[in-house]
Amino acid sequence: MTVGALTRRVAALMASLAFLATAASVQAACAVGAPGATVSVDAGGTGRPFLLRRPAITDAPAPLLILLHGSGGDGGKMLAASGLEATAERHGFLVAAPTAAIPAGKGFAWNIPGVPTVTGKIPDASDADDVAYLAALVDGLVAQGCVEPARVYVTGLSGGGRMASWLGCVASDRYGAIAPVVGLRAGNPRPDQPDEPDPASCRPDRPMPVIAFAGDKDTTNPTQGGGAGYWQYTMHAAEQRWAALNGCQAPPTTQWVAPNVYEERYSGCRDNADVVGRMTVGGGHTWLADNDALWAFVSRYRRDGR
């Protein structure tokens, strides 16, 4: 081969590599919003908007944390109250803050089938399917090059925490981990024995990593159990049920992680899907999560194969 022919072949190869690199870059570019901005986005053609925060510096596609508001709230107020926009900037993940569709007071409530909302309404076929809605939200962001599908996580406050728990029960193949705040459940209360979770109402297909945050002075969703009909069993019972579902073998350990916060951890679980409960002594019914600890926990996990 002549020097000229070799030069032409090398040039052609370099051009091909440059084209592939450009194509990959175009495919990876997120087509929604702008870095460092919070924008309103339609959830996968559902007609239901949500707020999306893209950090200023991140690779695309990136991890996604879905933030679910409490009953009577909305996505915008929840995003502001949680402080997760700043956390996303530090760690380079996206935050989606959707709004539920069932009217509740001045805001909205999530549709957990068979479970009454705070207004006492039991959702029926006329109400939006929020499991499907959130799936469409995720799929739309994945299709637009924004989100890595194996790294999608859910957190939420109160009723949003209960919805996050429900997603862990019924959509374990889609979400990498859940992080309920003052709202951890492991299925509905048993009809005949409401101080225990009903095993039939929570049957995840895979182990679901869980980190939950609560306050021991919460009178809305008492960690000691009781409260409204959708609540009843204790937070400890919820932790134990998730540990059983995840096949955790090691005895639970308890340690203080801050002057007024202790952590109970179940480990030795299938797929390393730990179950962690963080209790704030004196804490009430509010966003009391340690956002950095929340992200450090959930971001360890992936849902491969989607």
Task: Write out pLDDT tens, residues 189-199.
Answer: 999 999 999 99
pTM for this prediction: 0.89
What is the pLDDT confidence band of residue 2, given thresholds at 50, 70 and 90?
Answer: low
Q: In the chain, what are the domain boundaries?
A: 37-299
Q: Is 168 left (phi over 0), alpha (psi -120 to 50) or beta?
A: alpha
Contact yes or no for 241/202 (Cβ under 8 A) = yes
Alpha-carbon gap, residue 67 to 96, rounded angstroms: 6
Q: Quote the tokens at residue 163.
A: 């919805």
- Is the per-residue pLDDT at 18 higher than 80? no
Which of 65-69, 101-105, 272-276 comes out lowest in average pLDDT? 101-105
For residue 74, the model assigns a pLDDT of 96
For residue 203, the model assigns a pLDDT of 96
Query: Mean per-residue pLDDT for 67-84?
Result: 97
Class assignment of domain 37-299? alpha beta
Burial class (CB in 10 A: 0-12, 13-18, 19+), 63: buried
Residues 28-47: pLDDT tens digits? 588 888 899 999 988 777 78
Which of 14-18, 122-126, 195-199 comes out lowest in average pLDDT? 14-18
